[in-house]
Amino acid sequence: AQSVSQHNHHVILSEAASLELGCNYSYGGTVNLFWYVQYPGQHLQLLLKYFSGDPLVKGIKGFEAEFIKSKFSFNLRKPSVQWSDTAEYFCAVTNSGTYKYIFGTGTRLKVLA
Amino acid sequence: GAVVSQHPSWVICKSGTSVKIECRSLDFQATTMFWYRQFPKQSLMLMATSNEGSKATYEQGVEKDKFLINHASLTLSTLTVTSAHPEDSSFYICSAPGLGTEAFFGQGTRLTVV
């Protein structure tokens, strides 16, 4: 069965620290990869996505992620976090051509001012 | 961008009663919508696919008689949790496909059954 693993359930960082959130998926076919962020009381918001092409994807708010096919990974990074990045982050996968998402368990990030 | 609105954002109900959650696509039409559920410390899990004008398709292990889905129009899908019990307490999110290759999500509904 397909699955998505997020290794960090809770992360606490100080402002200006660098961030890397791990995401691994299990699926042998062609996938689309996503990172979503959810601020308290708000919608899931797309940070970035990978479908094909350059495996280093840049998203909004200074986030980027790198698709490493050989490792089935799609880790999220940000060089310098801000207090406003405090939120929950979800990695997700879809099979190409479908809108059925498989989500990771989410990572709660808290950034200390 | 496209907006999907869910209502209510949170609801508390008594055990044995039914609760309806609405999911609306505000500025686009959606012939298909998806319902997800998230238990504490677990992933968002797909429950069912809502199809406008036809029956919903449910994922394995999801009781279709308990989670009634109606896709009455091209902009509205509803999920009714019937005879709710405390174990149905969860976070429910809907989504609708956009024009591209990603879906748009509602803000979610926190259901607490007491």
The reply to whether residue B43 touches residue A4, judged by beta carbons under 8 angstroms, is yes
**Contacting residues of A for B32, CB less than 8 Å apart:** 99
Q: Which residues of chain B have pLDDT under 50?
A: none
- If contacts are CB pairs under 8 Å, which of residues 44-103 in chain A contact chain B? 44, 46, 49, 51, 90, 99-103
Give how far the C-alpha of residue B22 lies from the chain's centroid of Cα atoms, to the nearest Å. Answer: 7
Coarse DSSP helix, strand, coil percentages of chain A, rounded to the nearest 5 percent:
10, 55, 35
What DSSP string describes B7-60? Answer: E-SEEEE-TT--EEEEEEESSS--SEEEEEEE-TTS-EEEEEEEETTS--EE-T
Give the C-alpha separation, B7 to B11, whole Å. 9
What is the C-alpha separation between A6 and A21, in angstroms, rounded?
Answer: 8
Chain B residues inside the 8 Å CB shell of A90:
44
d(CA A44, CA B3): 11
What pLDDT, on the 0 to 100 scale, is given for residue B39?
A: 82
pLDDT of residue A8: 87
User: What is the model's pLDDT at position A21?
Assistant: 97
The reply to whether residue A100 touches residue B34, judged by beta carbons under 8 angstroms, is yes
Q: What percent of chain B has pLDDT over 70?
A: 97
Instruction: Please list the pLDDT of chain A residue by residue as tens digits (113 residues).
Output: 789 999 889 999 999 999 999 999 997 788 899 999 988 878 788 999 999 999 999 999 999 999 999 999 999 999 999 999 999 999 999 987 788 999 999 999 999 99
